[in-house]
Structures are given as structure tokens and as C-alpha cells.
Structure 1
């Protein structure tokens, strides 16, 4: 009753209307008496106030200042805010809302009023959002905009506000993703496209339009609000494989590709049978037109027809491309839809060439197609991919066997015109027997090159004889007898080279080192190199410019089949074990050299016959990872798939730090999850503890503190169960870092003291003790205990020098700078930070270098050295952006500090190095 009267404050409400609203069609027998009872109670409540309920002819009214009713107060504040743009009025209006109006009342008049008020409130919220954005308050507006967008997913004005706020907060990829999802919903569920205003905003974000920048008159300097530059990746991928030397023929198809490109087509499918030269043609043509796509070239083998592995999923392919575009794991959103949106946002307005090799079907390719019209996507497949042609507008290029003329050109290039023209009929038969396939023709030519003076007729007879008992590699295309060509060349190998060829089928690729080949054979490097050279001469494998070896996927398949048919299973298992041992020990040795530390764990001795790579310096270790990183990831998957679980999780442990330091977040996370599965399947509790610890750090980096705590606590439980003091200490380190990030300093100190106690009980000789001292010192400084903080950090520096541990030295110098800055001794802090930056750069951990530069800039500001501070912040921004081109919290913080000093980031100093917390 009060609500009805208040909604009409100052107006008479009839008794009949009150009765109808309160009881609808079923009033009680004494309805009027009940109304009087209600009125009497309300009058008592308002007896000592300026509000009264009075009897008037025909009914009752609530007599009061209209603005004492919150609905009227809300409307007044909104009107004033719209006229004057005062954020205080907007805030006061919004504060009057504490939920749904009349939520517990079932009254017709109030139901209608509720609808009206909801519409007024939503309109006011949108107007207030505009006011916040006009005033440069995008950071403040963003959380509520996210919440509102979830509740009102169809509203385009709200979507535009959210997109603009995201853009101004340095997150344009998320803004573009939101537009894509709304556009998809509108088209698929309502049959309409986004309106012109939202579409225009989308284009402006894509173009990084200056008009989107905010300005705020009430900022301290009265100037523009600093907006981080667009988070478009700065990485320019150059992933095309090397062009095939001596490529000949296919001029008709090259001309067709040129015409399609000139005509504006942006998706091309090159299809044909195995061995017909699809990849060679695509790569050769891609190199010819690469200069038109100056913002990079992406390449991926989708493994559509690999008999030993599943085709690459669209989800994994998207992650690989995000990785190639420089997006680190912590910045990759969960879910294939969001990841696809991020990928398309990154490439939408870039001139990129995307080569998708060996696709199985249209569904594997469709999510990888860029959304913009400046990218070219070139797909190769044994299938025609009619779905892409029908629904995505792809243009087909069918590649058949070479014509006799093209095949003769190829053979002339390999064998010489005089030799080919001298035996016309034999060459014709040879071309027919090779099915016009470039791969088969090249292998046949390689065999003929062994004896340049010999007639080709005997070789043709050998080929015909060799092919009698073999079917084709691709049962879908029985007319090609390429296996007979392989067999012919294989049977001409020495026993040692033939055995090596079979063994190479085990290796996951994409390239093989001499030492890996030696481990597969269990032989010396010199003997293995001789066999590798024989395989190169036979055109069964190729040597790349770096001295590593590659071979065609059909030949790899053939090698695997030969091994399965020829070699006993124990021999194959031993070869895999030697290969895994070589890479496991190599990864661990490279890490130890890079990190300049002694091993915290032991490995079993490698199997007899394993060849280990020679490394002696930190540079050797880094170079080894540069060359073998992709192979390592493939071997982790192979080991887990084939039941070598101990190798799988040990290899992940050996490579996890280098992957982390190099910013390979996606590969890092993928390997950690494989390691957890492998360790669980093995029942190795210590290994499970270790993986939980690293997954905790992954969640910590992404700000997922509850999840991080769960992983670290599980690691503590498992480490205690197996009495692993090192694992226990590291898990406590993680919990300490987690609490420190949440400003729970007392809890952080509990865990960091516990870490020191664990190492001291073991004699204080573990490398981890140095970092425990550093972490404890930093946290003590935050707690205000500067004297004890200095003692701990100085001891860490002494031990770091004593043990020649570069990483610990860099961390101690950084923390000593921090402690002295906390004490107010800026001059001493500056000296330590200068030494820390140099030490971090020498060690090569760029993320910590950037963090040290941030702290260095802070203390320079306090000392009044603004120009020097700007220089340090610029260098930090450059490093953070290089490590995390999609934007990071650290980069935003550095950029904000730089902008406050008026430094800007248009011309950053590009350098590298480390600092801060250690683990």
C-alpha cells in the first residue's frame, strides 16, 4: 500500500483503486476495514516525520516532498547529470538502486512501474557509461560493463561501450572478439548484422583510429589520458620452409595461382595425390609472392595423413599460430572460440600469407582461415576440400601428375639433356613407371646419377622388378606406384644406410641431427654420417643449410613401415630408448649450462649406444635448445604415446625452465599437462609433486590465486609423502609468492622461513637456498624489517659469488636495491640496480631484467633523476612488449609510469635482461 501511495506522491489514490491493486479480483469481506488498518499503521510510522498520509475526497494521498521518494530522487539526479555531466550526480543516482524494484510484491500497477523503471535505469546506466568514457574513466567503467554485457548480450550500444573501454585499457583484441561474438549471434539467431554505429567502431578499432583516444579535463595535468598503444603483436613470423632448389615445371599451375592472387581471391586449395608435389609447388610459389605479404608468413603442417599420429586439431593449430605471432600462454584465453577470435583479430588487418600444408578435411582448416581480406591462405591436401570451395569461397587448383614434357624437363635438369634425349623411349617408360610424380622422378634421377655414364635401360629394368610385389602408399590413388620407386632406391642402399633409413622413421622431426641419427643406430657419429650422406645421394633424405637432415612425409611413412616389417620389436624399442635418453640428457645438460647450477635431481645412465651432444658453455646450451626445441616437444608426445612415461615427465622437467625463459608458454603448458598424465600413470609421486608446482606457477602468473594455492598445497602433500625436501621447499616457495602477490605478507613470511629451514637442515648448499634467502629478504623488507632483510640478501650475494651462480647473483643484486630503496637510501639502491640489470642481461632472463628496470626507474624518480627514469621505463616497456605482444599487466604498469613522466613509448630502447622474485 505504501509503494502505491509513494509512486503517486502528492496525488489522491481512490479506495477502489487501492482495493483492486492489493487484492485484484478477490478482495476480503472487510476490504475497507483492512485498508483503514493498514493506513493507521502507516500513519504511526510517519508520525514524527515530514511525511503524512491524508484523507481526501474519494481516497488517500501521501503528502511529502517528492524528492523524499527514491524514484523521484533518481529521476532528478539523472536529469541533472544529463544536463551537467557531473559524475557525482550519476554516482548518487546509481547508489539508489539496490536490486530489482518491488521484487517481492505482486501488484499490477507496480509490475508496470517496475518495467518502466528497469528501462529508465538501463538507459541511465548507458548514459552514465558514456559520461565515464568521455571523462577518461574507462578503467573504472570496465568491470561493470563486463557484467552488464553478460546480462544484456543483444544491446549494441552497450557492446560499443564495452569495446571502447577494452580498447582504451590496451585490450583491443578482446574488443574485437566481443564484436565478432555479437555479430555471429545477430546473424545466426536474428538474421541481421550489427548496426552502422557498432560496425564503424569496429573499423576504427581495427585501424587504431586516433579519434578513439580519451581526454580528461580533470586529470592532474589537464592533458590527454594516456592510452596504451594497440596490443597488436610486434612479431613478424617468417615460417615458410626453404624453397626447393632446382624447382622445375608446373608453369601452368604457377600462372593459375598468379591469376587467382591478382583477382583478389584469398583462399586457394591445391589438391592432388601423395607425392605429386603439392607442398613443393605451394612453397615455391609462396616464396615468389612473399614480398607482397610484408607482415609475415605463417606455415603449419596439419599432418592430415600421418599414419603414426592424429591430424593436428584446429585447437592445437590455433595455439601454434598464436605462439608464432608472439602471444604467450598466460595471455591466451581459454576455449577454442576465444582463441580463434584472438587469432583472427591479430591477423585481420595484416598482410599475411598463411600456408596450411597437408590438410585432412575442411573442418580442420575452417577455424584457421583469417577473417580479413588482406591475408592469403594457401591450403594443400590430398582431398579436394569441396566444403571450403562451396562455403568459404576457396578457389581450387587441382594438381595431377607431371606431363611427359614437364617430367623430361625435371630429368634433364638432374641428368643432363644429352643423356635424357639419347634414350627417349627408356625415359618415357621411366616417367610412366614413376606415375609422373615429382618425388618418384627425383628418386629415380638420384639413382641414375650414381653412374653418369651408364645407360638408363638397366635401371629401368631394376625398377620394374622392384615394384612387382608392392602396392601404393596411398590406397585412395592405386594408379600411382610410388612405393616401387622407394623400394628400388632402398634396395640399392648399403645395409648400414638401409638400417638407418628405417630408424629415421622413428624420429618425430621436423629435422634430425647427426647425433640423433647415431643414437637411433647405436653407432659412432662418423659411421652414421657416412650412411646419412649415402641417403642424401639417394635422394631419400635432404640436408638443410644448418647441417640437419629432413625427408618427405611419404618417405618417413615408408621408413616406418619398413621398420615394422623388418626390425624386431626389441630392436625398435631399444632405438627409441636411446633416442629419448640422448634428448633427455641433452636437455638437462643444456639447462644446467644455461642456468649455471648443479643438478637438483639425478638421471639414470643413458642406454648403451646413446650418443650425447657435446656442450661446455651457457651459449652452447642455449644454441642446443634453439635447434632442438620442436623435436623435444615432439618426443615428449611420442614418449607418452608409446608408454615411455618416465622419459616423458623427466624430459619435461629438463626443458621447463628454458621454455619458460624463452616465453614459449603454450608449449610449456602443453608439456606440463602431458608430464602430469605420465607421472600419474607411472605412480611417481615426486614427479607429480613437481608438475603440480609448475602448474601452480602457471596459475600464479595468470592471477588465478586459488588455483595456484591448490596446486602448491598438493605439491606439498606429495613431496612430504616421498620425503622430497627439494620439492617441498619449492612448493613452499610457490605458496609464499602466491600470498605475497595478494599482499598477505605475514602468510608469505611463514612459508619463506619454512623454505630456509628446509635448506638449512640439508646444510645450506642447494642452489635453491640462495633464492630462498633472496625471497625472504625481499618479503622482510616489505614487512619493514630492513636490517634482517639486508642480512639475508647480502648472504645470498656472498653464496652466489662463492658458487659462481649468475642467476642468484642477479637476483641478490636486485633485491639489495629493493631493500635499500625501502630504507630510503636511493643512492645505494641505484648502484645495486645498475649492477643487477647488467647481471640479468648477461644471464639472459629478459622478464626479470624488465622488472629490475622498473624498480630502477622507481628509485631514480625518487632521487629526482627523471630523464634517467624515463630511459629505464622505456627499456622495460620494450622488453615486456617483446615478450608479451598481446599486452600484460607489467607492460601496462611500466607504460603508465612512463606516461606520467611524459616519456611516451614511441621510440623504445630495445634491449634484453632479469630481476625480482626467484624460484
Structure 2
């Protein structure tokens, strides 16, 4: 390890943040630069998102130049590391940066390795290794960052080292030596029962029985007053043995003073596997390809929009591979997007999991960090499948991730969880809608009747009207099964009306609805994103980009680009190529209904007018460029174009949208009639000179122009 070679470069986090070469600390600049280094070293060889760095360094209130400042910090860090030939490299890896480094060069890793190595060693060797680990601390971890970055796991690591060290010292009969240290440490960590037990035992062995009992009474009183809880059963048992002057306590023992009582339960918490499952063969193969886990617990993420079948896929796959996890399967609904309940706290899920793994009710630790540490310890020697369904964000599930183990964690969410991928190396799969054949099989199974040749095409139409979305398909099929008098053609006719389609995909008695599922996603968005969704309900075309959205909202193009990408992360839209976004048909209808219900007539009219003028400005600029075959001034209200080639590209990309804007304007009766006609005339010119129109579009244009 790097710590064994004094001349080698070392990265230090257990105290001031430093890069040390030999015995010399390399100057690293201010707290911001050291904070960036610390974040990269806390997650070595993993991507740390730039946005997360900004949020941490400026406590979620960054200045406008924050991203540029972080990029500057990274640049200077690269320079310092290269100057001293430290053997590490900071690599730009979207969405952030990754520190490529031998982890044995980091004092945190060395401390963890020494703790792990000490296990199963004789007491004398164990104490030696643990003292070496504790000596790596040169003060509070991350001491010189001014509180910008906190890492509670480093506090937990040091406490785990100290507790193990005191156990070794007690086993060696060095009880008098540890009394002062334990007393001081308990003043800083008053609710660590293991430390209290160690101090009581040391005092008892030093013939200070009354003081040992007083330590217990002070702890019990404080726990009752401040936490409303009693001491745990093992601490109470130790207290009882001291009270009755149990001489057995005088004999050094290799067993820790307090250890959690863990049974041998094998949990089997998976919900029932879904029936009528169709398709997803590639996705099932992808999941199976993540097995077996390696030295660290593997993590898979299934992300996708509401109703796409994430939970069904996760549960089905989990049942198929359950035999590969002989130590059990854990399942928790995180309720990240439940309209009736708040998201489940990680602390509550940890309690559920610990009880399922055999920990007694009284042995579940009070603090979240302690529960997580016990959970990781139990899973370290087990092969367990953990399914976390409907996660709200990475922070909700991070405490539920095992560390080094052969377990596997599968997470589902309505957002992409890019932060989790960046921090842990999780593998992400974004789920799309079903293929044509799979959608038809799902309808056939749910409806309970096979498709005959005469209605197979009708079922395919039904699947198209449902957007091949599994939830919509199941609702449609359930309506067919529940109403034998209805034919597929009847349901197709009802769904063909866009204004009533979402209402038709609603099973009121079962509290199952496509609209309700989409509402949950919409209500979870930040206000500015929800506003953008409402404006998208005014967009008559299919191909969405930042410039037309900026026209609709009256906003900044760059800001609208960021909003669209944020909506893509929540699967409201899909970015099919750079700056090209599409909306699923049912999501589009939902956005249209939101615009109708939640926007005033004035705001709707204003947005439509701005969009019309945007396309009119773009069409005029394109015509000027095509006529002159040279550079003309781009209208400020329109899209950026500089050459005839740009004009042709814009027309080709925006043609369907341009016609949709014309048709929408022609259907309205307002003061923009002249602008609608002007845009229609320009579209007619383009159709003659640059492309052929279909009969329906040509008919509309002729009608408008004449």
C-alpha cells in the first residue's frame, strides 16, 4: 500500500485535505479547490457530476459563474498533480469528472483496508493494525473545508476502528489504559451503546464498580430525556451482570461487548409475479447480464415513464433469478411518486430489512448511519437480491446499498437517477414502450380471447392509440374483458377522439388511470418544469426543440434547453438527437389538457401567437436566404440561420411543425389571421421549390392561400 512507502504520493482526507509527496504537502489553493479534490477522492474511479460539485460547494445557492469556477479548480488540480508526478489523473467524463487513481494512495482506503485486515486476527495483531488505522487521522476529517463538504461515513469509519481497537485492548487486559480515552470519546458520542458498554467493562475490571453503574445510569437518563428510549437489551444485560457482581466479566473474552443478535431468516419479500407479461426479452437479457455481482454489490437501474412497466419487469426478472440468491430477496416500495403518501424514508426501509434479516426489534440501531452500517455488515457475507421500487432520487436509496458483497440491487424509478450512476457506477436501462407484436399479445392475454384475422388489424390500431404503453394496453384490454358487448372496433372508435382518449383509459373502480399516472409525474416536477409542460400542451407539432419552446414560453433558449433535458430525465419528453425532443402521444394529450385547465385564455393565446411569429420569422429568413443564396440578417424573433444550406435544413426539420402551426392558426379566429396566411404562402413557396407535399397538406395550403 502507498502508506508503506514514505516517498510515494499520498492523498489525505482524514484531517486537512492534502496531497503529500514524501513528507511535503503540495500547495492546493483555497477551500473550493480542496473541496473538489475531496469529492473526487471520496468516490475514486467513479464519475462525480459537475452539477453535484456546484451544489455541494455553494450549498445549493451557486453564483452564475459556479460551473466555470469548478472547471478552473479541476484544471489547476490537474496541473498540480502532474507537476509532482503523483500517479493520478482527473478525467473529464460526462456529466462530470473522474479521479483515476490507485485507491491505496488514499488514506481513507488504507484505513478501511487495515480495519478489514484486523478482523479474525489475534488480539495483539488486531490492536496493532487498528492503532495504525487510527493514526491516519490528523484531526477531524476534511478539517479545512469550512463545512462545505461533510462525509459522515468517515466519522462512522473512525468510530468503527476505535470500537474494534477498544475490544482488542480489553481482550488483552489493558482496561486501565482505555478508561480515559473512552470517557472522552463518550462525551463526543454520548449515544454509542458499544462505547458505553466498553467503558463500563473497563471500569468494572479496574475495581470501579460504582462508577461503572453510574455510567449506565447517566446514559439511561440522557437517552430517556433526549431520545425517549431505553438502553438496548445487551447493555441492560451488562448492567445487570455488573449489579450482581458477575465475576465472569473479569475474564478477557474475544467476543465484543455488544454484538447485534442476528438470526438465520431467509427473507422472500418479492410481490407476486405479473401475469400476461409480453415482450421485454432484450431487457430481461440485459438484467441477467449484470450477474453475477463482483467484489462490490452490483446495481441495476430500470428507469422509464409512468405506466411503462418498470415494476412488472423488475419483479418478473427477480422471480426468475431468485434461486441465484440463496440468502433471500428483499423488496421495498419507496413510494417516490405516490400521490397518496410521502416517499418512504431510508431509515424505515432499513428497519424493515434488518427485521427481515433476523435482527431483533430491540437490536435495531436508532441512528440512520448505524442502521446502514449494520445492514451492510449483515449483507457482507450473504448473497441477497434487493429490489427498490419507485425510487424518488439517489439520496433516498443510497443508505440501502450494500458495500462489498455478492448481493445485487435493482432500482426502478420515473427519473434516470444519473446521480446514482455517477456515484456508484450503477448500470442504467431506460425502458421504452412495447413493440407491436408484444403489445398485441398483451391485449390478447388480458382480453382473454385470441385475435382472429378479421380483428387483428383493429387490435393493432388499438395498440397504436394506446401508444404501446403497457398501462394503457392493460386498461384497454380490461375494458374489453369486462364488457363482452364491446368490440375492439367500438373501443378503437372511442379512443380515436383525442379529446376523450385519456378519459377512456381510466378504470375508476380499480383506481387505475393513465391520466392519474401522468398527473403524478407532472405534480412532482419543479414549478418551472411544470410551466414548460403546460406550454408544450400548446405546441401543435411533434418535433420539439429549444428555440420553439423559448418562443412559446417567452424564455431564454439556453434555459429552455436545460428544461427540456430535465424533462427528458423525468421521461416527459425523449431526446432522440441533439436538441430534438419528442413527446409520447398520451403525454402530449395530457399536456394539452393541462394547458386547457391550468392556463388562462390570455396566456394560451399569447403563447400561440409567439409560436406563430417565431415560425413566420424563420420562414421569412429561410426564403431570403434561398433567394439570395447568400448571407442575410436573421430576424431576431426567429431561429438562427446564416446560409441557404441552413435554410434548407431548417425547412426540412421543421416542415411538419410549420404546417401544424398553419393548420392550428387557420382553425382559430383571432388577430393573427394575416400572419397565418403569410406563413401559409411561404409554406406553399417552399413546397414548390424544395419538397413535395402530400395531397392533404397541399389541399390545406391551397385553401388558406386562396
Which category of TM-score, normalised to the shorter sequence, fits these structures?
0.3 to 0.5
TM norm structure 2: 0.38
Structure with bigger strand share is 2
TM norm structure 1: 0.30
Larger radius of gyration: 1
Structure with bigger helix share is 1
